[in-house]
A and B are shown apart, each in its own frame.
Chain A
C-alpha cells in the first residue's frame, strides 16, 4: 500500500502504456481481447486517478510528487506532481479515455490492435504532459503525444486524412520546435542564475528572467500553445483534423488534446514570464474575444456537423483564453473548469455525431431533419449536451462561463462584455443545428436511410448508452454541484494569480490587498444590516 501511495501518479501515467504493451503481445486477429485489454487498462487508470482526486488536499502545493534523477549530468530528472489545475485535467483525461476507447469498439473496424496501442500511448503522453514538473520531461511527453495522434488521423481517418494529418503535424511541430529552443534558452538562463544545469520546473520558476528574454521565450512557448488551443487565427488546422479524424480521434482531440495548450499557458507562460504576460495580455485577450465571436459566426454557417462543432470549439476556447489572461481568481478558476466542461460537452458532441454518422454515413446537416421522431433517446441526449454547450444554468457550461465573465470583468471589462455576445451566438448556431437535424419533416437520410430502410436508424444501443450516460452524469454534476472541483482548483489558481500580481507590481498588489480589505469590511457591514 505504501509503495502504491508513493507511486500513485506514475501508475496513473503509465498504466495505459502498460496496457499498450500487453496488447502488443496479443495477435492482431484477437480483436475482442485487444479491445477488452484496452478498456480495462483505461478503466484501471481512471480508478487509480480517483484516488488522486480523493487524496488531494486543497492547497496550492504540488502533490503526489515523485522525483528520480534521470540524466543527472544534464540536471534532467523524472519529476512529476500535480496541483489543483493539473488534477482536474488529469481526471478529465482518465475519464475521457475509456469513453473514447469504448466508442472505438464500434467505429474502428480495421487495424484494431494498432489503434488501441496508439490510443493508450496517447493517454500516457497526455497524462505525462499534465503531470510533468521537468521541462525536458514535459517536452518528451508533448512530442510523444503527437505521433499517436498523427497516426490516428492519418490511418483511421476519412478521405482526406493524409492532408489533415500532415496539416496537424506541421502546425504543431512548427510550434513545438520554437518551444524547444525556448526551453534550451531557459536551461541556459537557469545555469547562469542557479549555477547548475537543471530542467526542473520548480527550480527554474525561481529564476528571474530579463524582460527581453521573457518576451522571446513567451512568444516561443505561446505560439506552440496557441496553435494547440487553438487561438484565433491559428485554428484552421482544427476543422480539417476533426472532419478527417475517426470518431474516437475527434473525441480525444476535443476532449483532452486541445486543453494541453491552455494548460501550457497556465503552467509555463504566465508563471515563468510574468513580465511578458503583462505585455501580451491585451493581444491574447483581443484574439480570444475575436475567436469567441469569429468561431461562433463561422460555426453558424457550416454545413457539416463536425465542422460546426469544431468551429464552436474555437469560440468556446476563446472563453477559456479570455478567463486565463484576465488573471483574476474567478476568471482563471472558471477557465480551468471550462476546459473540463468543454472536454465533456464537445467530446460528447463528437461522440454523438459519430453515432449518427455510423448509421447514415453522412454528416451533411441538410440531409437530416425529423430525426427526433425516429431516434428520441438520441435526440434527448444530443439536446442536453447542446444545452450544456450553450451554457444553460444547471448544466456544467454555465458555471465556467459565468465565472469567466464575472472574473474577466474585473480586469478586462470590454473583453468580458463582448464575450457575452458569444453566449447569445452559441444559442443561435447550436439550436439551429438541433433544429435542422432533429425537427421538422424527415430529411433525406432519415426517410430513406441512404439505401436502407428507416428501421436501420435504431435508437441508441445499450453500448452507446453506457458511453454517454457517464458523460451526462458529469455534465449535470458539474452544473449543480461544482464545489468539490472548484475547491480543488482554487488554491492553485489563487497562488498563480497572486504570485503573478506580486512579482509584477509589488506596490499595486499592496494597494489591491488594502482595497480588498475595505471591500470585505463593507460586505460584512452589508450582511450585518
Chain B
C-alpha cells in the first residue's frame, strides 16, 4: 500500500499556506518547524513510493494519478496529473531530501530576520512548485511548476527587497527566464499541433512513428532547449545566475544550485525520446553545454565573491550535465545532477556558514585562516571541494567521469568536446581549491574587529549530512569497469531513451580506453589542485604576478566577457529608446494628430454649416433621414 502521489506536493502547499496566511501567529521557530516538517513529510512519502516502485512489476514501473481536468477546450485536455517513475523518484528525493536539509539549516541562518515567515512560506512554495515540475505527467503542468519555481526564485532573490540592487537581480532572473519560456511555450504549441496531446508518455510513444520530419523535432527540441538554457543558466541566457546570489545563501544552495537550475537537464531527460529524434539538437546541446562549462569555469577563476565563484561553478557544472544529455548519456546527466545537488548544496551552505561567521563578509580577499575558527565548516567544505573536483572515490568522480566517458563514446574517441571537458575539470579543481585556500588557509585578512565563530549545530548538522552524501552518493553508480554494478544507470534505463549511439555501460568500447580516459581526467584534476596549491599556498605572490602578466585575460574573465554590457547596449537600451519613440511620436503625434486634425477640420467645417441650424426639429429629422438615405444609396449603388 503506497501513499497517493498528491500528498508529496500537498504538504509543502499546506506549509506555504500556514506560513503565508497565519505566519503572524507563529513564533520564528514554529514557522521554521512547520516548513521543515512538511518537507520532511514529502520526503518520507517520496521514499515510500520509491520503495513501492522497486517491487512494482513491468518494464517501466510507475505510479500514475490524475487529480482533475485543468484546462479543457475541445480536443485539448490538460489534466492535473502526476507520474511517478524512477526518474521522478530520483528528482523528488533530491528535491525533498536536500530541500529538507536546507530548510533546517535556514532555521539557524535566518534567525532574527524580520521576514522569516515570508522566507519559509516562499521556500515551501518553491518545494511545491519544484515537485509539480518533476512529477507532472504533461508538459503544461510541468510548465506550471517551471514558472512557479521561477516565481519563487524571483521572490527569494529579491527577498531583501529594500536593497534595490537585490530586487533588481530578482527581476533580471525572471525576465531572462521568460525569454527561454517563450521557447517552451512555442514548443508546447508545436507538439500539441502535431500530436494532439501534451502528455509526456503519449508524446514519447507517438513521436517515433510521427509523420513529421526531422526538421519538426529539431525545431521543437531546440525550443525546449531554449527554455532549458534560461532556467539552467546556459549560454547565452546565463547572465542572471551570478546576480541571483543576492538572495539569502540557503536560497542559493537550494534553488540556484541543487534543484531549480537543474530543471533544464530534467526537462531534456524527461523528453529524451523527442531529443534523440533530433541529432542536430543533441549536438547543439552538447556543444553549448561544454562551452558553458569551460567559459563559466574561466570566469570563476577570477571572482572574489565567494558566492559568485560558486555561482559560476554551478553554471559550469550545469554545462557538464547538458553535455551529458547532449551526447545521449541521459542517466549520466541525472546522476551528475544528483551528486551536484549534494556537493554544491554543501558548498553553498558552507559558504553561508562562513559568511554567517564573518558577519556578512563575502569577499575572499578578506578571509583566510578560518580553518581553526570554523573546523566543521572547513572539513565539510573540503569534502565538497574534493567531490566537485572529481577526486577518485567521491561522488563527483563517478558522475563526472560517466559524462566524459559518454562524450568519448559518442564522438568515438578523443573529440574536442571530451578534451574541453577534461581541461575544464582541471580548471574546476584549480578555482575550487583557490576558494578553499583563500578562505580557510594562509594568513587571516579579515579586520580584527571580527570574531569568526563556528555556526550553531542546526547549521553544521546539514553540512555534515551533505558531506556524507557527497562522499557516498557516487556509489549508487559505480561503473562496471571499476567492478561496480552501475545501479543508477539501470534504474533509469527504462525511463530515458536509449541513445542511438549506444552508451549502454560502455560495453562497446574497450575497458582499456575507459580506464585511460578516466586516468587522464583524474590527472587533470590533480594537476589543477597542485597548481592552486602552488599559486595560493607555496608562492602567495604568484597570483598577483599572474594577473599583472595577463591583464587583458584577467579583465575579460573578471568582467564575465562583458556579456551583460553587450545585452545592455544591443537589446535593452535600443528597445527602451524605440518604445519612447513609439509613444511620444507615433501615439501622440501620428494617431492623435490625425484625430485632432480631423476634429479641427470638422470644427471649421461646422462653422460653415452652422447656418443650417434653424432650431426646428423637423429640419433636423429631415437631415438625418436624408443622410441615412444617401449612405444607403451608396451602399446599394456599389
Chain A residues close to B by CB (< 8 Å): 167, 170-171, 181, 184-185, 188, 212-213, 216, 233, 236, 294, 297-298, 300-302, 329-330, 333-334, 369-370, 372-373, 387, 392-394, 398-399, 402-403, 405-407, 409-410, 416-417, 420-421, 423-424, 427-428, 431-432, 435, 438-441, 480-483, 486-487, 490, 494, 516, 519-520, 522-523, 526-527, 529
Contact = CB atoms under 8 A, between A and B. Distances in A.
Nearest to A426: B178
A185 B632 contact: yes
Contact of B161 (A399, A440, A522): A440
A440 B144 contact: no
Interface stretch (B190-198, B250-258, B473-481): B190-198
B544 interface: no
Interface in B36-80: 68-76
Given A372-B161, A523-B195, A529-B205, 18 more contacts: A181-B632, A184-B632, A188-B632, A216-B638, A300-B579, A301-B576, A301-B580, A333-B73, A373-B161, A373-B162, A393-B147, A394-B147, A394-B148, A423-B181, A440-B161, A440-B162, A441-B162, A523-B196
B164 A441 contact: yes
Nearest to A408: B189
A486 B68 CA distance: 14
Contact of B162 (A181, A297, A370, A405): A370
A431 B171 contact: yes
A526 B202 contact: yes
Given A392-B151, A423-B185, A302 B175 contact: no
Q: Which of A212, A431, A520 has the most CB of B within 10 A?
A: A431
A407 B599 CA distance: 40
15 contacts: A184-B628, A297-B582, A398-B147, A399-B71, A402-B140, A403-B73, A406-B193, A407-B76, A423-B178, A423-B185, A431-B154, A435-B171, A438-B161, A482-B71, A494-B74
Contact of A440 (B74, B163, B197, B580): B163
Interface of B: 68-76, 140, 143-144, 147-148, 151, 154, 158, 161-164, 167-168, 171, 174-175, 178-179, 181-182, 185-186, 188-190, 192-193, 195-197, 202, 205-206, 575-576, 578-580, 582-583, 587, 591-592, 595, 599, 628, 631-632, 635, 638
Contact of B73 (A188, A216, A302, A334): A334
A339 to B, nearest CB: 15
A438 B185 CA distance: 29
A20 to B, nearest CB: 28
A405 B198 CA distance: 14
Question: Per DSSP, are chain A's interface residues mostly helix, strand or loop, or mixed?
Answer: helix
B185 to A, nearest CB: 5
Contact of A236 (B182, B189, B595, B628): B595
B167 A440 contact: yes
Contacts of A527: 202
A188 B632 CA distance: 10
Given A181-B631, A297-B575, A523-B196, A407 B182 contact: no
Contacts of A431: 154, 171, 174-175
Q: Which 5 A-B pairs have the closest CB atoms?
A: A440-B164, A439-B167, A393-B144, A297-B579, A329-B74
Contacts of B75: 516, 519-520, 523
Contact of B168 (A435, A481, A523): A435
Contacts of A487: 72
Contacts of A212: 638
Contacts of B599: 170
Contact of B186 (A333, A392, A417): A417
A213 B158 CA distance: 59
Contacts of A301: 576, 579-580, 583
Contact of B144 (A298, A394, A403): A394
B73 A297 contact: no
A401 B293 CA distance: 36
